[in-house]
Amino acid sequence: MSLALSVVCRGMRYFGKPFFARLTQVTVARAGLVAASLAFPLPMGVTARRAALGGVECLWLTPKEGIGPVLFWLHGGAHVMGSAFTHRGMVGRIAKAAGMVAVLPDTRLAPEHPAPAGLEDACAAFDGLVASGVPPERIVLGGDSAGGGLAAALLSRVEARGLHVAGLVLLSPWVDLTLSGDSVRTNAARDPMLPAQAIAAVVEQIRGALSPADPRLSPLFARYAGRCPVLITVGTTEILLDDSQRLAGRMSDAGAQVTLVRLPFSPHVVAYLAPWVPEARAEIRRVGEFLRSLAV
């Protein structure tokens, strides 16, 4: 572990983790994430513009050499906070590393808009992208944390329609809102960022009338056709470690070529910390190399 990551993890443990324990106070949580995102601005060489798809406002990030397929990214934030703006820095770096245009929909958030509102927005924006002239096989789905869960759920829906996308990238995805993974308990003290004791209350804010086991909320239980390459990365000390491991197993069983990367001691969505932490920069390069490897 680098000195920079060690310092960041210590700061998360003493300041970030208590902050995230207040996720049910959504106004405070949202403002805090916006403020934090100012330390991770859009990288040089990437331009941003706003344009809606399927009635959903989206942020488009275009690197100078954005000539490859389109990266359709769904942002994290436990379904209650976050936006295209708060994730522009991380996704902009991924887009630059991959040489791809990235599209970030501003999906609706709970508790004002409980599930499945976020997934409905993701589906509408995806369909809007296809209607704009980008074929599904030229689209890579991606997401981090709760956005990773939305991306996995979207993949299941897209594949159920007989469509084929180019690939899937998930960073520390939250895919089981039943909280049945052992790591929710075994890593509760080790996770430097996510407070296990607060997650159940957040689920109640998110789920609306749906059961936490509904595949629209918990895509761990969804069906997959196994038609696209998948990259999943997760920290070994995360409470969501088992979400990634079990999802990788399910997708692999369905026939997908899955690469699961366990990052020693890395916090939740370590890539967000680029450019300040070397492990985060390495993670951006890893995702960029995966995306460049897709034959589309």
Break the chain into its structural domains and give their ranges.
Answer: 3-293
Give the separation between CA 283 and CA 21, rounded to whole angstroms.
26
- Choosing from 145, 172, 183, 218, which is the catalytic residue? 145
The CATH number that domain 3-293 falls under is 3.40.50.1820
Asked if 270 and 240 count as a contact pair (C-beta separation under 8 A), the reply is no
Give the separation between CA 295 and CA 123, rounded to whole angstroms.
24
Give the separation between CA 241 and CA 235, rounded to whole angstroms.
7
Beta strands in the chain (DSSP E): 46-50, 58-63, 70-74, 101-105, 139-144, 167-171, 230-235, 258-263
Alpha helical stretches, state H, the chain: 3-11, 17-20, 26-37, 88-98, 117-131, 146-160, 183-186, 196-206, 241-253, 278-293
Rg (CA), the chain: 17
Q: Which residues contact 295 (CB under 8 A, 6 or more apart)?
A: none
- Choosing from 159, 238, 279, 283, which is the catalytic residue? 238
Give the separation between CA 275 and CA 45, rounded to whole angstroms.
14
Token representation of residue 247: 């999802």
Asked if 122 and 109 count as a contact pair (C-beta separation under 8 A), the reply is no
pTM for the complete prediction? Answer: 0.96
Please indicate whether residue 79 is annotated as part of the active site.
no
The pLDDT assigned to 229 comes to 97
Asked if 227 and 256 count as a contact pair (C-beta separation under 8 A), the reply is yes
- Choosing from 75, 79, 87, 268, which is the catalytic residue? 268
Digit-coded pLDDT (tens) for 148-179: 999 999 999 999 999 999 999 999 999 999 99
Please indicate whether residue 204 is annotated as part of the active site.
no
The pLDDT assigned to 174 comes to 98
Give the separation between CA 219 and CA 178, rounded to whole angstroms.
11
Interhelix angle for 278-293 vs 3-11, to 10°? 100
Residue numbers in the chain where pLDDT is lower than 50: none
Residue length of the chain: 296
Residues paired with residue 259 on neighbouring β-strands, in sequence order: 231
The pLDDT assigned to 10 comes to 86
Could you give the 3-state DSSP secondary structure of residue 213? Answer: coil
Residues paired with residue 72 on neighbouring β-strands, in sequence order: 103, 141
The pLDDT assigned to 68 comes to 73
Task: Please return the burial class of 202, using the count of CB atoms within 10 Å of its CB with bins 0-12, 13-18 and 19+.
Answer: buried
Asked if 129 and 155 count as a contact pair (C-beta separation under 8 A), the reply is no
The pLDDT assigned to 9 comes to 82
The pLDDT assigned to 66 comes to 65
